[in-house]
Chain A
Amino acid sequence: MIPVTRDSGAATAPRADSAAGGTTWRSITPGSAELDPRGYARRRRLLERGLAILVPVGLIGLWQLLASSGALEGNYFPAPSTIGSAWAELVESGVYQDSVVASMRRIVIGYLTGGLSAIVLGLVIGSVRLLRVALEPMISALYTIPKLAILPLLLLIFGLGETSKVLLVALTCFFVVLINTIDAVVSVSPRYGDVGRSCGASRWATLWHITLPAALPQTLTGMRLASGLAVIVIVGAEFVAADVGLGFLVWNSWNLGVPEHMYVGIVSISVIGVMANMILRGVEWLLTPWNR
């Protein structure tokens, strides 16, 4: 390791090693980060925030410019201002609210049903070795089935109503959360259990006070992954088997040759995904204070 000395004077070039085995010193001139660390940090934060805002604004501006000048095919790549007007139109007519509410309802009910049942089942399967050995291969096999592929079967069994779509979301979330929960429970150090037992903790107390908190971070990561998949799968289902929802809005707008409405749907889906992720990160922050 080369020692560094602080020298407020003029910068000096690194010196070549003077003698074999001798220590080489190098001087650096203190920059703004060293002379005014708080000011530097403030400017740096400002720059980062500025970039986070300016880059999207710049890209949207460029998009607007290219679309207005005709460089982009306006019929299929409408300008952001056109999309904005279309958004306002859809809100005014109520179509937008209906679509968002329909998709959100399917996502929330399916996500909570699938996710919460998977946590309960995952804790049990992860805690009982024989159960895990018996069920894990089947769970892995079922997890890999593309859930959209079984939508026609769900429609056949449960009809064309909401049940089939909610169930599709629930099934998608279930396996992701289940696998993460089982893995999380299995990864809990046996030492924690030993400590619990030596303190006379019952099985229930061990599960509640030791296994669950220890497994929670990874389980919540599974919940976060599942939320993204829930959005993706409901959009796919609404493409083929719905007459309201954001997926239907995207698909139908394309079919009707109104791509500006399609973009409204796509942006909304993306916003829902981002918001779900933020909410779940908040939940994670609240539930796992030791993990902050």
Chain B
Amino acid sequence: MAAFALSTLVLGVLAACGDGDERDASAGGSSALKVGYISGASLAPAFVADALGCYQKEGLTVEFQPIRNPADAIAFLSSDKIDAYVGSPSAGMFNQVAKGAELKMVASLGSVNTPDGEDAPSGLFGAKSVEEVQDLKGKRVGVLGTVGTATSYLLGKSLEAGGLTFGDVELVSLALSDMVPALKNGGIEGALLIAPETQKALDQDIAHALVDSKKAYGTSTTAGIMYGPGLLKDDRATGGKFIKAAACATRQMQGDWRKDTKIVSALASFMKVPETTISGGGLYVFEPTLAVNANTLREMQEMFMKVKGTLTYDQIIPSEKLIDDGIRVEAVG
């Protein structure tokens, strides 16, 4: 116990004394930002903005730092170890905001609201034995992470479309790449798949889409940009520049951006995947306004509140505590 107390104390003190790197603002007005990110095509504009010259145009130098777990990003963001986080809101974010942490969503990125004729890049898939969502009642369903993640929200919306809730199925937490094999060997009978796993399941004739994702959660925006106290309070101007740069990239990603070789090449290079994975992968839609859908954040909380132990509070956090729309409005209009 002494060793544990000592190590916690040391870690706590180290965290308190940790490098609070200030954003550099050179004489030329150039600002440096540390941005944590979770890799994914739904966040593409933030990743390709450099290759498209948008950050340079705003006088920004952006240092991207990969983050594997959204919970880590929330911790880094609220303690100012990173300036911005490009990823998804989660129960971890809600719980921390409820405790008083200063972090807010300032812009949204990709949604699955693709044009007619284009499949959504994610969706609830069922094994061959499952014909409709209702057949999943009492069955094992794979999800990335646990209830409380943005993906679990998408799964919840898909289950809702078939009249089910999380309580009606047995959730199994799996890595994305393990889902198709698990569907194949019968370990699970349903899963919320994300491209390219969706295509893999169809190509191998292992599973089929159970829900039209565009109808289930097409208007929801769970991908976006979040700021910590540094950009929210001390340096809103730099925060505005980052949003302007993201909007600049978004404007160039209208329509089927997978046909634009420059964008595909930049995104593939950033995500360290073959270009074919991007050009043949799912299409995400990026609204040029980058407006955050407050309803999505409210729905996420309502859904997570129904699962005991996910949220530590019992009153929905008002949207103004989770969203700062002022920076976006000023930057993009």
Contacts and interface: CB of A to CB of B under 8 A. Distances in A.
B150 to A, nearest CB: 12
B11 A255 contact: no
Nearest to A159: B187
Given A59-B9, A93-B309, A156-B185, A73 B79 contact: yes
B68 to A, nearest CB: 11
B15 A255 contact: no
A73 B12 contact: yes
Residue from A66, A73, A270 having most chain B Cβ neighbours under 10 A: A73
Contact of A243 (B96, B173, B178): B173
Contact of B93 (A72, A76, A95, A257): A257
A75 B101 contact: yes
A77 B96 contact: no
Contact of A255 (B140, B148, B182, B185): B148
Nearest to B96: A257
A252 B148 CA distance: 9
B8 interface: yes
A73 B93 contact: no
Residue from B8, B149, B173, B311 having most chain A Cβ neighbours under 10 A: B8
A67 interface: yes
Given A156-B185, A160-B188, A255 B146 contact: yes
Given A75-B78, A76-B79, A159-B187, A255 B4 contact: no
B12 A66 contact: yes
Interface in B80-107: 90-96, 99-101
Interface string A240-258: 1111000000001011111
Interface string A48-82: 00000001100110110011000111011100100
Nearest to A259: B75
A86 to B, nearest CB: 10
A63 to B, nearest CB: 5
Contacts of A60: 1, 5
Contacts of B186: 159
B62 interface: no
Nearest to B69: A255
Interface residues of A, number: 36
A59 B5 contact: yes
Nearest to B75: A76
A257 B145 CA distance: 14
Nearest to B100: A75
A72 B100 CA distance: 15
B175 interface: yes
Contact of A257 (B1, B95, B178, B188): B95
B52 to A, nearest CB: 33
A267 B4 contact: yes
A77 B2 contact: no
Given A73-B16, A76-B75, A95 B9 contact: no
Interface in B57-71: 69-71
A77 B4 CA distance: 12
B310 interface: yes
A152 B95 contact: no
B181 interface: yes
B172 interface: yes
B6 interface: yes
Contact of A63 (B5, B140, B146): B5
A255 B150 CA distance: 12
A257 B175 contact: no
A241 B15 CA distance: 30
A63 B12 contact: yes
Interface string B166-189: 000001111100100110011110
Contacts of A156: 181, 185
16 contacts: A56-B1, A66-B9, A80-B5, A152-B178, A155-B178, A160-B172, A160-B187, A160-B188, A240-B173, A255-B69, A255-B71, A255-B148, A255-B149, A257-B99, A258-B95, A266-B4
7 closest A-B pairs (Cβ-Cβ)? Answer: A56-B2, A257-B92, A257-B95, A77-B12, A72-B12, A59-B5, A257-B96
Interface of A: 55-56, 59-60, 62-63, 66-67, 71-73, 75-77, 80, 93, 95, 152, 155-156, 159-160, 240-243, 252, 254-258, 263, 266-267, 270
